[in-house]
Amino acid sequence: MCYRILIQMGIIQVSYGTGVLIFGICQLVNEDVFHLGSYAKNLMVTVVRTESFFGFVLALNRVSIMCQLNFSKYLFVGLMFFSWVFFFVHFNLFMSPLAAYVVVMSSFMPIPNTTLPYSILFNSLAGYIYDSLLILTFINYVIIVIHLIRMKSGTTASETFKSEAKILLYAGIRFSLDAILSILFHYAYLPNTFVCNFIYQMGCDLNNMFVPPLLNLCLHSLRPDP
Protein backbone atom coordinates (compact mmCIF):
# COMPACT_ATOMS: atom_id res chain seq x y z
CA MET A 1 0.00 0.00 0.00
CA CYS A 2 2.89 2.34 0.71
CA TYR A 3 4.06 2.16 -2.87
CA ARG A 4 0.55 2.74 -4.18
CA ILE A 5 0.44 5.96 -2.17
CA LEU A 6 3.87 6.98 -3.47
CA ILE A 7 2.73 6.32 -7.05
CA GLN A 8 -0.26 8.63 -6.53
CA MET A 9 2.09 11.29 -5.18
CA GLY A 10 4.34 10.82 -8.21
CA ILE A 11 1.43 11.31 -10.60
CA ILE A 12 0.41 14.55 -8.95
CA GLN A 13 4.01 15.79 -8.94
CA VAL A 14 4.02 15.46 -12.74
CA SER A 15 1.06 17.85 -12.77
CA TYR A 16 3.10 20.31 -10.73
CA GLY A 17 5.90 20.16 -13.29
CA THR A 18 3.43 21.00 -16.06
CA GLY A 19 2.30 24.05 -14.11
CA VAL A 20 5.88 25.19 -13.55
CA LEU A 21 6.63 24.94 -17.28
CA ILE A 22 3.61 27.01 -18.34
CA PHE A 23 4.08 29.56 -15.56
CA GLY A 24 7.76 29.91 -16.42
CA ILE A 25 6.98 30.57 -20.09
CA CYS A 26 4.53 33.32 -19.10
CA GLN A 27 7.21 34.91 -16.93
CA LEU A 28 9.72 34.78 -19.78
CA VAL A 29 7.38 36.47 -22.27
CA ASN A 30 6.24 38.85 -19.50
CA GLU A 31 2.57 38.24 -20.27
CA ASP A 32 -0.21 36.02 -18.93
CA VAL A 33 -1.06 34.61 -22.36
CA PHE A 34 -4.75 33.58 -22.52
CA HIS A 35 -4.65 33.48 -18.68
CA LEU A 36 -2.56 30.31 -18.92
CA GLY A 37 -0.21 31.61 -16.23
CA SER A 38 -3.12 32.01 -13.82
CA TYR A 39 -4.34 28.50 -14.57
CA ALA A 40 -0.81 27.15 -14.12
CA LYS A 41 -0.40 28.87 -10.75
CA ASN A 42 -3.78 27.46 -9.71
CA LEU A 43 -2.58 23.99 -10.71
CA MET A 44 0.66 24.39 -8.74
CA VAL A 45 -1.14 25.55 -5.58
CA THR A 46 -3.71 22.76 -5.95
CA VAL A 47 -0.98 20.13 -6.27
CA VAL A 48 0.90 21.35 -3.19
CA ARG A 49 -2.25 21.29 -1.07
CA THR A 50 -3.39 17.93 -2.41
CA GLU A 51 0.00 16.42 -1.65
CA SER A 52 -0.63 17.19 2.01
CA PHE A 53 -3.53 14.70 1.86
CA PHE A 54 -1.30 12.01 0.37
CA GLY A 55 1.43 12.82 2.90
CA PHE A 56 -1.06 12.27 5.71
CA VAL A 57 -2.24 8.99 4.16
CA LEU A 58 1.38 7.83 3.86
CA ALA A 59 2.09 8.65 7.50
CA LEU A 60 -1.11 6.91 8.64
CA ASN A 61 -0.11 3.85 6.62
CA ARG A 62 3.26 3.79 8.39
CA VAL A 63 1.51 3.99 11.76
CA SER A 64 -0.75 1.10 10.76
CA ILE A 65 2.19 -1.07 9.67
CA MET A 66 4.74 -0.24 12.36
CA CYS A 67 2.30 -0.22 15.29
CA GLN A 68 0.57 -3.34 13.92
CA LEU A 69 -2.84 -1.69 13.96
CA ASN A 70 -3.77 -3.38 10.68
CA PHE A 71 -6.10 -0.71 9.36
CA SER A 72 -8.25 -1.88 6.46
CA LYS A 73 -6.79 -1.23 3.02
CA TYR A 74 -10.17 0.23 2.08
CA LEU A 75 -9.53 3.06 4.54
CA PHE A 76 -6.44 4.09 2.58
CA VAL A 77 -8.19 3.60 -0.76
CA GLY A 78 -11.00 5.84 0.46
CA LEU A 79 -8.59 8.50 1.70
CA MET A 80 -6.71 8.49 -1.62
CA PHE A 81 -10.01 8.82 -3.48
CA PHE A 82 -10.96 11.77 -1.28
CA SER A 83 -7.55 13.33 -1.98
CA TRP A 84 -8.27 13.27 -5.71
CA VAL A 85 -11.74 14.71 -5.09
CA PHE A 86 -10.11 17.60 -3.22
CA PHE A 87 -7.70 18.09 -6.13
CA PHE A 88 -10.46 18.46 -8.73
CA VAL A 89 -12.74 20.54 -6.48
CA HIS A 90 -9.93 22.95 -5.53
CA PHE A 91 -8.72 23.33 -9.11
CA ASN A 92 -12.19 23.94 -10.55
CA LEU A 93 -13.25 26.33 -7.79
CA PHE A 94 -10.30 28.58 -8.60
CA MET A 95 -11.18 28.49 -12.30
CA SER A 96 -14.81 29.45 -11.67
CA PRO A 97 -16.46 32.89 -11.45
CA LEU A 98 -16.27 32.54 -7.66
CA ALA A 99 -12.50 32.51 -7.14
CA ALA A 100 -9.21 32.59 -9.01
CA TYR A 101 -5.52 33.41 -8.81
CA VAL A 102 -3.92 36.18 -10.82
CA VAL A 103 -0.40 36.37 -12.18
CA VAL A 104 1.65 39.50 -11.58
CA MET A 105 4.71 39.59 -13.79
CA SER A 106 8.00 39.40 -11.82
CA SER A 107 6.07 38.00 -8.83
CA PHE A 108 6.12 34.25 -8.25
CA MET A 109 3.68 34.11 -5.34
CA PRO A 110 0.06 32.91 -5.71
CA ILE A 111 -2.13 36.02 -5.50
CA PRO A 112 -5.92 35.62 -4.99
CA ASN A 113 -8.03 37.60 -7.44
CA THR A 114 -9.77 40.10 -5.15
CA THR A 115 -12.23 41.10 -7.87
CA LEU A 116 -13.98 37.75 -7.43
CA PRO A 117 -16.17 37.30 -4.32
CA TYR A 118 -14.68 34.20 -2.70
CA SER A 119 -11.02 34.16 -3.73
CA ILE A 120 -9.66 35.18 -0.33
CA LEU A 121 -12.15 33.04 1.61
CA PHE A 122 -11.51 29.86 -0.39
CA ASN A 123 -7.75 30.46 -0.34
CA SER A 124 -7.79 30.89 3.45
CA LEU A 125 -9.95 27.80 4.01
CA ALA A 126 -7.72 25.68 1.77
CA GLY A 127 -4.68 27.02 3.62
CA TYR A 128 -6.18 26.02 6.98
CA ILE A 129 -6.91 22.53 5.64
CA TYR A 130 -3.33 22.28 4.40
CA ASP A 131 -1.84 23.34 7.74
CA SER A 132 -4.19 21.01 9.65
CA LEU A 133 -3.06 18.06 7.54
CA LEU A 134 0.58 18.94 8.19
CA ILE A 135 -0.13 18.91 11.94
CA LEU A 136 -1.95 15.57 11.71
CA THR A 137 0.96 14.18 9.70
CA PHE A 138 3.40 15.41 12.35
CA ILE A 139 1.34 13.68 15.06
CA ASN A 140 1.58 10.41 13.14
CA TYR A 141 5.36 10.74 12.96
CA VAL A 142 5.54 11.44 16.69
CA ILE A 143 3.57 8.23 17.29
CA ILE A 144 5.98 6.31 15.05
CA VAL A 145 9.08 7.68 16.79
CA ILE A 146 7.69 6.94 20.26
CA HIS A 147 6.78 3.42 19.17
CA LEU A 148 10.27 2.80 17.74
CA ILE A 149 11.94 4.08 20.90
CA ARG A 150 9.82 1.77 23.04
CA MET A 151 10.53 -1.35 21.00
CA LYS A 152 14.12 -0.73 19.86
CA SER A 153 15.74 -2.82 22.60
CA GLY A 154 14.69 -6.19 21.12
CA THR A 155 16.21 -7.99 18.12
CA THR A 156 12.96 -8.02 16.20
CA ALA A 157 12.54 -4.36 16.93
CA SER A 158 15.98 -3.62 15.55
CA GLU A 159 15.14 -5.42 12.32
CA THR A 160 11.82 -3.59 12.12
CA PHE A 161 13.56 -0.28 12.68
CA LYS A 162 16.02 -0.93 9.85
CA SER A 163 13.33 -2.05 7.43
CA GLU A 164 11.11 0.98 8.04
CA ALA A 165 13.76 3.65 8.61
CA LYS A 166 14.03 4.62 4.94
CA ILE A 167 10.33 5.27 4.51
CA LEU A 168 10.30 7.15 7.82
CA LEU A 169 13.21 9.25 6.54
CA TYR A 170 11.36 10.01 3.30
CA ALA A 171 8.19 11.04 5.08
CA GLY A 172 10.00 13.01 7.77
CA ILE A 173 12.05 15.08 5.31
CA ARG A 174 9.01 15.83 3.14
CA PHE A 175 7.00 16.91 6.17
CA SER A 176 9.78 19.17 7.43
CA LEU A 177 10.19 20.91 4.07
CA ASP A 178 6.43 21.30 3.59
CA ALA A 179 6.06 22.75 7.09
CA ILE A 180 8.90 25.25 6.59
CA LEU A 181 7.47 26.47 3.27
CA SER A 182 3.97 26.73 4.73
CA ILE A 183 5.20 28.77 7.70
CA LEU A 184 7.17 31.09 5.43
CA PHE A 185 4.16 31.66 3.16
CA HIS A 186 1.32 31.93 5.70
CA TYR A 187 2.97 33.41 8.79
CA ALA A 188 6.43 34.85 8.09
CA TYR A 189 5.29 37.83 5.95
CA LEU A 190 8.30 37.83 3.67
CA PRO A 191 9.17 41.11 1.92
CA ASN A 192 7.31 41.38 -1.38
CA THR A 193 10.47 41.63 -3.47
CA PHE A 194 11.58 39.81 -6.58
CA VAL A 195 14.46 38.10 -4.74
CA CYS A 196 12.30 36.80 -1.86
CA ASN A 197 9.53 35.65 -4.19
CA PHE A 198 12.00 33.94 -6.52
CA ILE A 199 13.79 32.13 -3.68
CA TYR A 200 10.49 30.96 -2.19
CA GLN A 201 9.22 29.72 -5.56
CA MET A 202 12.48 27.88 -6.21
CA GLY A 203 12.16 26.25 -2.80
CA CYS A 204 8.64 25.08 -3.68
CA ASP A 205 9.77 23.79 -7.07
CA LEU A 206 12.72 21.88 -5.62
CA ASN A 207 10.55 20.46 -2.84
CA ASN A 208 7.88 19.21 -5.25
CA MET A 209 9.90 18.23 -8.33
CA PHE A 210 13.40 17.17 -7.28
CA VAL A 211 13.32 16.18 -3.60
CA PRO A 212 10.72 13.36 -4.03
CA PRO A 213 12.65 11.48 -6.78
CA LEU A 214 15.88 11.76 -4.79
CA LEU A 215 14.21 10.46 -1.65
CA ASN A 216 12.49 7.68 -3.57
CA LEU A 217 15.91 6.34 -4.55
CA CYS A 218 16.55 5.46 -0.91
CA LEU A 219 13.51 3.16 -0.98
CA HIS A 220 14.66 0.92 -3.85
CA SER A 221 16.18 -1.72 -1.58
CA LEU A 222 13.19 -1.83 0.75
CA ARG A 223 10.93 -4.84 0.45
CA PRO A 224 7.49 -4.06 -0.99
CA ASP A 225 4.68 -4.29 1.53
CA PRO A 226 1.34 -5.86 0.61
CB-count burial class (<10 Å; 0-12, 13-18, 19+) for 184: middle
Q: Set out the domains of the chain in order of their start, with CATH numbers.
A: 2-217 (1.20.1070.10)
Identify the pLDDT of residue 223: 45
Pick from 11-15, 59-63, 129-133, 218-222: least confident: 218-222
Amino acid code (one letter) for 226: P
β-bridge partners, 102? 111
Across 22-29, average pLDDT: 88
Beta carbons of 160 and 151 less than 8 angstroms apart: yes
* Residue-averaged pLDDT of the chain: 82
Across 93-119, average pLDDT: 88
Percent of the chain with pLDDT over 90: 27
Phi, psi angle pair for 102, to nearest 5°: -115, 155
Enter the pTM of the model.
0.82
Identify the pLDDT of residue 81: 96
Model confidence band, residue 169 (pLDDT cutoffs 50, 70, 90): confident
Taking only the tens place, the pLDDT of each residue in 175-225 is 788 888 888 877 777 777 878 888 888 888 888 777 776 666 655 554 444
Of 55, 18, 59, nearest in space to 40 by CA: 18
Model confidence band, residue 75 (pLDDT cutoffs 50, 70, 90): very high
Across 78-107, average pLDDT: 92
1: three-class secondary structure by DSSP:
coil
Taking only the tens place, the pLDDT of each residue in 140-168 is 888 887 887 777 665 555 555 665 666 66
Identify the pLDDT of residue 226: 45
